Amino acid sequence: MIHLIDELKVIPGVIGACIVDSQEGLKVTNLPAIFKAERLTLVGKHLQKLYSAGRMSFDDLTDITLNYDESVVVARALEQNTLIFAICDPTFNHNLLTMSFNLLDEEFKLGNFAKAATVAPSAVEEKLTVAAQPAEKLISGALQDLFAAMKEELGKVLGPMAGFIFDEVVEGWVEQGHPDFSRIEELVEQLNQEIADQDKIDKYRQLISSTLKNFQKG
C-alpha cells in the first residue's frame, strides 16, 4: 500500500499522504514523522465527515480541498469508509495530484491495496503508544494566545512545516517544566535549534520580539 502513496510524494509540493479508514483508523502514511498518527486519524475523520456532507449536496463530488495559510489539504474518498488525503505546499500542482488520485482510485478498485495491507509505517505504530496529555491543556489562555502569534511568525520563517514543528517543540517544552512565561527563552532556544539557520533565527527573533515585549508588559 505504501508504494501507492509514495508515488504521490514525487509530485512537486506534495509533502505526503495518508489513508484513513473510519473504523480501523490510520492505515498507511508517508508523511514526515512529525505528523502524529493520532492527529492524522482525527483529521481523516473530520475530512470524512466533510466529504460526506459534500456528497449529500453534490452527487458528482470528486475531491475536497482546504487551503490553509501554510498548507493545502486535498482529500478523496476511495470507498464509503476509506479516504485518502495529501498535505501539500501551497504551490503544489493540483491537476497533477488530481490525476494521480484518479490512478490511485483505479488501483484501489483493482484490490491492490488489500495485498499490501500488512505494511505498517512508523507513524501507525505510534498510534499504539499512550497519548500524552495535550500540551495546550496545560498552558494558560494568555500563553496560548502568545504561542498562536509565535507560531504564525514561525510560518514566515519555516513555511508549511512551521505549525507542526512549533507544536512539537511546545510539547517537549511543557514536558520539561511548568509552562510559564519565565521559561519562554528556553522555548525560543529550542525553536532556534529547529530553525537551524542563523539568518532565519535572527529573522524569527526580530519577528517575535515586539510580541514578547507586549506580553511581558501585560
Contacting residues toward another protein, per CB under 8 A: 35, 39-40, 42-43, 46-47, 49-50, 53-54, 56-58, 60-71, 73, 87, 98, 148, 151-152, 155, 163-164, 166-167
* Minimum gap (Å) between residue 159 Cβ and another protein: 12
Calpha distance 205→78 (Å, rounded): 44
Question: Cβ contacts of residue 165 below 8 Å, gap of 6+?
Answer: 34, 154, 158, 191, 194
Nearest to 156, CA basis, from 114, 189, 200: 200
CB of 2 or CB of 54, closer to another protein: 54
Calpha distance 170→147 (Å, rounded): 9
CB of 44 or CB of 121, closer to another protein: 44
CB of 114 or CB of 145, closer to another protein: 145
Q: Contact 169/154 with Cβ under 8 angstroms?
A: no
* Minimum gap (Å) between residue 160 Cβ and another protein: 9
* Minimum gap (Å) between residue 116 Cβ and another protein: 26
* Minimum gap (Å) between residue 217 Cβ and another protein: 24
Q: Which phi and psi angles does 36 have, rounded to 5°?
A: -70, 145
CB of 112 or CB of 152, closer to another protein: 152
CB of 134 or CB of 177, closer to another protein: 134
What is the β-pairing status of strands 72-79 and 25-29? unpaired
Q: Contact 190/172 with Cβ under 8 angstroms?
A: yes
Tell the burial category of 138 from Cβ atoms under 10 Å away from its Cβ (0-12, 13-18, 19+). middle
Helix (H) or strand (E) holding 20: strand 14-21
* Minimum gap (Å) between residue 53 Cβ and another protein: 4
CB of 168 or CB of 201, closer to another protein: 168
* Minimum gap (Å) between residue 68 Cβ and another protein: 4
Q: In what order do the strands lie in the sheet with 25-29?
A: 25-29, 14-21, 82-88, 72-79
